[in-house]
Each structure stands twice: as C-alpha cells, then as structure tokens.
C-alpha cells in the first residue's frame, strides 16, 4: 500500500540532511562528494536512481569518481556468487582508504544485504562499514543516512518484508529521455537455483493508477521510452483490488500521449498470454523485442529448476510470437552447470538455440546460492565440465545471433539516439525498436530523439548506419 505518512516523515529527514551536508561542506571546503556504485539488474539500477535523487536533493555532488568520494554507496546484487565476491573485493580497498581518510562513510544496500550470512560477516569482520540496509526499507534511505551521520557506530537495518511503498520521493534519472518504471516487486516463482524470491520478497503488483501517473509525469519531464520492470511481468495484476492483466496495463500505457516507446522486462514463458501477443502485434509503441529466459532446453532440468514449461512448449511459444510479430527480436538467459546436468542435457539447450534463432543470449555458469533447493543437492557439476559446456553453448549463441543480426542490412528503421559513440566522437549510438544498436554520424543535439536510420553494414552485435531524411532512402 502507498504510505503517505511515511512520505511526509522522509521529506522531513531530507530537510534535516540538508543541514548535515551544509556542515560537511564547511568542514571539507567543497560540496560533499558521493559515489553510488550499482551492481545487478535493472531493478537495482532504478533503486540507485532513487538513492541518487535524495542525495542530489540534500546537496551531495554525485559527479565524482569512487576514489575521490566522501560517501560511497554500494547497491549490491547476489544473484551469482561472483557479484558478492566483487563487493568484498571493493570493501578490502575501502578499508585501507578509510585508515587514511577517517571521515569516509561507507554504505551497503541492495539484495546481498538481505542474506543473513552476509550481515553476520559484515557486523563481525567489516565494522568500518557505517550503514547497512536492505531492499524492503530503501524508502527510509533519508532517515537512515541522517542517523548514520548522527551515530558513531555501525547501523544495520534489515527488514524481512514490507507491504508499504513510498512514492513521490525525489529520483535522479540516469538518462533524460528514458526510464525504468517498477510495475511489481518481488517474485513468487521459486526457480530452484534462484535467490531473488528470498532477497526481494513476495510478488506485489503496483496499483495501475500509480504506474500510469508516474509514466505521465516522466513523459511531461521529457521521457520518450519506458521500460516496465518486474521479475515476471506476465503475472502482473494478481492480487490487485481490481485485477488487471499485463496486456491490459500495456494498453493503458500505450494511450499516454507523448510516450513513444514501451519496453518490458522480464517475461516468464509460463505466463506469457495470447492476449499479450495480440496487444504487442497491434501496438505502435511496444518495442519489437522480448526477453524470454529459457534457462535450459532439457525437460528433466527444466522440471528440476521448477520452470513449469517443457522444451517443446517453449519452442511453440517462440514460434507463435514470431508468427504474430515477424519483426520481433527474441533474447534469452541460459544457465549451464545446474546440478546433475549432463552433456546430453546441454545438447537439448543447443537444439533450442538453433531452432529459436535468438538475437542475443546471456549465458551464465550455475552459481550455488545458499538457501535455495538446488544448493543442497549432492550432484553439483564439476567446474571444468561446466566451463567446457559453457563454451559449447556460447558458440551456438554466437552462430545463431550472427545469422539474425545481419538480416536487417539495407533497411531503414527508427533509432532512439542514446549517446555519443564510445569510440568515435563524430558518431552517435541509437537503439532500434528490436533492441539492436546502430552507430551513425551525428552530434549530441540528437540525443533523446527518434530518427530514421539506414542500416548499411552489420558488425557482429551492432550496425553501422546513416541517418536519412524522411523522403530519402
């Protein structure tokens, strides 16, 4: 439920924090500098925009390098163990820095903090960390940060769950022209390898009116593309007072004047409805891209993962989508090395890759997450074997993506210009509706605009193109 009283409380803390930053400015001789370092997925990226919104509002300078910062915030991810290891690695460096710079403040938040074992380690071995909070009480950030500056010792505040959302706190968007929008929080699927349901809590859909109001405000502020975010957007709307399907929500979002593009992430194949495919096929604004995580192509492994679809059901779904929306790009996530996985299981995964023809795929080696059912299995896969299989899958992905990624050469598409190209300051990078990237000649005045571009050549995962006038081709 949206909590207005809590909003008022947090706004008071924002005021109080402004006084703290004023004092810091006098002490330091410059605006206090803060670096927000984000790990993990789009949900975390959106959360970091919320943290930054408050930090900017109370007077921190966010335009700084982590190494020069007076306040460092890590918004952590724990989906795979290497994400955790990265955080511990950074903390080692920060410990040394804090010895030389005792005023340095260190904050940890995000998914990794929802793990009991992590909190035990931090409270025992990382006492120099000043503030720790989790995913459920992020709306209390202003209050927690204020308390941190008042307190002399480590503050840890972790909640098991929450029913409250606090909307309308300041947000500092990373991009002026596009934004993520949470439509739901948490996950109920409990795939047996996955820690997300444990660290993000149960699935909760936001009220559609609040979502639409947020998007209308974003559009008024210059946003032309939104990405609707949820761990399983296809199950949006369950449990609302007036239930609404994801496809119906999309139709409402589509009506917002001035909004040009709609994306969403992530679609669970088991819940993807015919209604959604129909709505997408008819839509002018919903982008021609769907991220449809496969995880495995083996029926036995899919069952043990608790994914609740079979290989053939998945392939039939992908074919149905392509038939209804021929210009759609399909991307996926694949896990290799799930407990008990054999070479034959991986052959099945490679077979799906070949048959579906993905535009791109993110491949991950299985990572054992404490507390998940798969972690306690005795048939964990040998690392060397997993790496070998990973390579086989990657080769198949490259072959499949290579075929589909050159197929649009010679055609003209609208591209949303995102930034100046990394490698060439005379070029810009644009994103097509199908999520492909194109580089073409242009300047910063094009950023945020949607312009027609002719794709002249394919270079692996992107195109080189030329911007055209509407009546030229």
Contact residues for ligand SF4, defined by CB under 6 A: 187, 189-191, 194, 196-197, 231-232, 268
Q: Output the residue with the shortest Cβ distance to ligand F3S.
A: 40
For ligand F3S, the closer CB: 38 or 429: 38
- The binder of ligand SAH chosen from 71, 106, 328, 335 (CB under 6 A): 335
- The binder of ligand SAH chosen from 283, 306, 310, 367 (CB under 6 A): 367
- Is residue 302 within 8 A of residue 190, CB to CB? The reply is no
Helix then strand count (H, E) for the chain reads: 13, 18
Phi, psi angles (nearest 5°) of residue 155: -110, 130
Q: Does 48 bind ligand F3S (CB under 6 A)?
A: no
For ligand F3S, the closer CB: 79 or 247: 79
Task: List the beta bridge partners of residue 427.
Answer: 441
Query: Among residues 8, 83, 15, 81, which one has the least CA distance to residue 44?
Result: 83
Using CB under 6 A, which of the segments 83-91, 211-219, 360-368, 413-421 binds ligand SAH? Answer: 360-368
Is 267 in a helix, a strand, or coil? Answer: coil
Q: Does 334 bind ligand F3S (CB under 6 A)?
A: no
Task: List the beta bridge partners of residue 261.
Answer: 225
According to CB under 6 A, which residues from 72 to 101 bind ligand SAH?
79-80
Q: How far is the CB of 159 from ligand SF4 (least distance, A)?
A: 19
Strand order across the 178-182 sheet: 178-182, 225-229, 261-265
Tell me which of ligand SF4, ligand F3S, ligand SAH, none is bound by residue 43, counting a contact when its beta carbon lies within the kind-specific cut-off of 5 to 8 angstroms: ligand F3S
Tell me which of ligand SF4, ligand F3S, ligand SAH, none is bound by residue 247, counting a contact when its beta carbon lies within the kind-specific cut-off of 5 to 8 angstroms: none
According to CB under 6 A, which residues from 95 to 114 bind ligand F3S?
111
Beta-sheet pairing, 155-157 with 131-133: parallel
For ligand SAH, the closer CB: 140 or 369: 369
For ligand SF4, the closer CB: 199 or 329: 199
- Is residue 283 within 8 A of residue 250, CB to CB? The reply is yes
According to CB under 6 A, which residues from 146 to 205 bind ligand F3S?
196, 199-200
Q: How far is the CB of 287 from ligand SAH (least distance, A)?
A: 18
For ligand F3S, the closer CB: 82 or 273: 82
Q: Does 301 bind ligand SAH (CB under 6 A)?
A: no
Distance (Å, whole) CA 26 – CA 112: 35
Q: Does 231 bind ligand SAH (CB under 6 A)?
A: yes
Tell me which of ligand SF4, ligand SAH, ligand F3S, none is bound by residue 199, counting a contact when its beta carbon lies within the kind-specific cut-off of 5 to 8 angstroms: ligand F3S
- Is residue 367 within 8 A of residue 337, CB to CB? The reply is no
Residue ranges of E strands in 379-461: 412-420, 427-432, 437-441, 450-459
Query: Among residues 10, 53, 50, 274, which one has the least CA distance to residue 181?
Result: 50
For ligand F3S, the closer CB: 84 or 360: 84
Is 283 in a helix, a strand, or coil? Answer: coil
- The binder of ligand SAH chosen from 44, 48, 162, 266 (CB under 6 A): 266
Distance (Å, whole) CA 286 – CA 433: 8
Q: What is the largest CA-CA distance in the chain?
A: 67
Q: Percent helix, strand and coil across the chain, each rounded to 5?
A: 40, 20, 35
Q: Does 78 bind ligand F3S (CB under 6 A)?
A: yes
Residues near ligand F3S (CB under 6 A): 40-41, 43-44, 77-79, 111, 196, 199-200
């Amino acid at each position: 439920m949206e909590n207005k009283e809590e909003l008022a409380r947090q706004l008071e803390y924002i005021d109080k924090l402004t006084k703290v930053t004023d004092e810091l400015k006098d002490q330091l001789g410059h605006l206090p500098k803060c670096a927000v370092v984000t790990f993990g997925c789009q949900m975390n990226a959106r959360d970091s925009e919320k943290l930054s919104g408050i930090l900017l509002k109370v007077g921190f300078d966010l335009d700084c390098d982590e190494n020069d910062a007076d306040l460092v915030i890590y918004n952590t991810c724990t989906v795979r163990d290497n994400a955790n290891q990265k955080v511990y690695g950074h903390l080692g460096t920060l410990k040394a820095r804090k010895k030389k710079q005792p005023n340095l403040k260190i904050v940890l938040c995000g998914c990794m903090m929802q793990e009991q074992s992590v909190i035990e380690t931090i409270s025992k071995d990382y006492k120099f960390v000043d503030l720790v909070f989790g995913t459920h009480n992020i709306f209390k950030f202003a209050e927690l940060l204020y308390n941190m500056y008042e307190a002399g010792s480590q503050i840890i505040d972790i909640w098991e769950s929450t029913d409250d959302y606090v909307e309308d706190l300041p947000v500092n968007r990373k991009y002026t022209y596009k934004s993520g929008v949470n439509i739901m929080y948490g996950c109920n699927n409990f795939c047996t390898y996955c820690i997300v349901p444990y660290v993000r809590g149960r699935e909760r859909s936001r009220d559609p009116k609040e979502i639409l109001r947020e998007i209308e405000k974003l559009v008024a502020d210059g946003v032309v593309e939104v990405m609707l975010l949820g761990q399983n957007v296809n199950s949006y709307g369950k449990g609302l007072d007036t239930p609404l399907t994801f496809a119906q929500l999309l139709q409402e979002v589509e009506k917002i004047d001035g909004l040009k593009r709609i994306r969403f992430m992530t679609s669970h194949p088991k819940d993807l409805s015919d209604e959604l495919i129909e709505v997408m096929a008819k839509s002018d604004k919903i982008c021609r891209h769907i991220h449809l995580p496969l995880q495995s192509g083996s029926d036995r492994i899919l069952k043990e993962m608790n994914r609740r679809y079979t290989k053939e059901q998945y392939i039939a779904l992908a074919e149905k989508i392509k038939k209804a929306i021929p210009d759609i790009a399909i991307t996926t996530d694949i896990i290799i090395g799930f407990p008990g996985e054999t070479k034959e299981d991986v052959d099945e995964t490679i077979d799906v890759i070949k048959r579906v023809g993905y535009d791109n795929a993110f491949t991950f080696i299985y990572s054992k997450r404490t507390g998940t059912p798969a972690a306690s299995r005795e048939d964990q896969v040998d690392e060397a074997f997993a790496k070998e299989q990973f390579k086989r899958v990657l080769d198949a992905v490259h072959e499949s993506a290579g075929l589909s990624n050159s197929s649009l050469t010679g055609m003209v598409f609208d591209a949303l210009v995102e930034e100046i190209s990394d490698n060439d300051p005379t070029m810009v990078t644009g994103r097509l509706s199908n999520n492909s990237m194109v580089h073409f000649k242009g300047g910063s005045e094009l950023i945020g605009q949607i312009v027609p571009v002719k794709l002249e050549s394919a270079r692996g995962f992107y195109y080189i193109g030329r911007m055209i006038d509407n009546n030229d081709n």
